[in-house]
Structure 1
Amino acid sequence: MRAGPMGCEAGEPAAAFDALDEARAEAALRACCAAPGWVRGMLAGRPYGTAARVFEASDAVLARLGEDEIDAALAGHPRIGDRPRDAESARDQAGVSGAERALLDALAAGNRAYEQRFGHIYLVCAAGRDAGELLGVLRARLDNDPQTEREVVRVELAKINRVRLGRLLDELAAGGPGEGTRA
């Protein structure tokens, strides 16, 4: 059996997620992605039965979202290197938290240049990456044209959603809260 994000086995049931009442499932999904259309699409697809189906649905729903929904998703993320707004962002950016001041300053300058060039925050799947690597990726992406960069943003958002959904499913399977109040 192939392992999914964060230890979820692709064939294991996602029964705990499927069993959440609508309000708890919505809150849990909002903690994964701030795009209302993504949350609605994920809720509409329940029950999933397996983690693999949850991840596949996430990718499919994301692929159908309009640019306004992608902008809503972006608005739910802090800048790389900024103080995280919530537990999910803190987990995602754990590799940045201990970076030296000079590196954090370089990330801040890179974020400003990126936002000036593309009109939105620099979004990257930061899980398991340190500040130096994320700065290198940012600098390389500054060379993208706007259309290519929007495509890259969708790919990175899909990765982030999968990581967060994996954590959610793992937590629910272990009997945790799974409603966006995780520490």
Structure 2
Amino acid sequence: LTSCLAVEGWVDEVASGRPYADKAHALAWAGRSAEHLSDDELATALTRHPRIGEASQADDVEAAHSRREQSSVSTDGEAISALREGNVAYEHKFGRVFLIRAVGRSAEDVLSELRRRISNDDDTERAETVAQLREIALLRLSTALDPTPDAALEGGRA
């Protein structure tokens, strides 16, 4: 569970809900449990996510998730350069890494979202960051709960 969302309270809450009737119930419980994160929980969770466009070089389950999730973002040097610049501006403004569910998005989509979100105020952006973290956690959990190996290879799109 920690590789889905590195928040101890979330892991405990999801584990305490077992047994689940089915995958849908597990995902619903996990989703509700991820809606309200403290500032400390958010900060901790974000340390486990590399900058968008910069896949983690670590060799663990979370790093494998990140590399797979960001695989559609890797593109030409111009887009990557723009993402790097956007990441720096975002981090300067908000003091945290820009987080977005990258699965199914192109580099251009991610860059467009980064540019839109950088104009948010801190409260609005914090809420968007938590929502994105929740989406990522649910995709990862869906993959972990899927009994078919092909679904895990496809990024857990259920």
* 8 Å CA contact 1:36, 1:72 repeated in 2: no
Q: Which residue of 2 aligns with 1:126?
A: 102
TM-score, normalised to structure 2, is: 0.86
Residues 1:32 and 1:75: Cα distance change in structure 2 (over 3 Å): same
- The whole-number CA distance in structure 2 between the counterparts of 1:79 and 1:155 is 17
Following superposition, the deviation at residue 63 of structure 1 comes to 2.1
- The whole-number CA distance in structure 1 between the counterparts of 2:51 and 2:71 is 13
More off after superposition, 38-47 vs 139-148: 38-47
AA at the equivalent of 1:174: T
TM-score, normalised to structure 1, is: 0.75
Give the unaligned 5+ runs of structure 2. Answer: 153-158
Following superposition, the deviation at residue 102 of structure 1 comes to 1.3
- The count of corresponding residues between Structure 1 and Structure 2 is 146
Counterpart check, 1:138 vs 2:110: no
AA at the equivalent of 2:43: D
In the TM superposition, 1:59-138 aligns within 5 A as 59-84=31-56, 85=58, 86-97=63-74, 99-138=75-114
Q: Which residue of 1 aligns with 2:24?
A: 52
Give the unaligned 5+ runs of structure 1. Answer: 1-28, 179-183
Counterpart of 1:159 (choices 118, 126, 135) is 135
- The whole-number CA distance in structure 2 between the counterparts of 1:90 and 1:49 is 31
What is the SS of the residue equivalent to 2:119? coil
Counterpart of 2:148 (choices 171, 174, 180) is 174
AA at the equivalent of 1:95: S
Following superposition, the deviation at residue 120 of structure 1 comes to 0.4
* 8 Å CA contact 2:100, 2:132 repeated in 1: yes
Following superposition, the deviation at residue 146 of structure 1 comes to 0.2
Following superposition, the deviation at residue 56 of structure 1 comes to 1.2
Q: Which residue of 1 aligns with 2:156?
A: none
Runs of 4+ more than 4 Å apart: none
Larger radius of gyration: 1
* 8 Å CA contact 1:126, 1:134 repeated in 2: yes
Residues 1:175 and 1:142: Cα distance change in structure 2 (over 3 Å): closer
- The whole-number CA distance in structure 1 between the counterparts of 2:55 and 2:32 is 31
Residues 1:175 and 1:111: Cα distance change in structure 2 (over 3 Å): closer
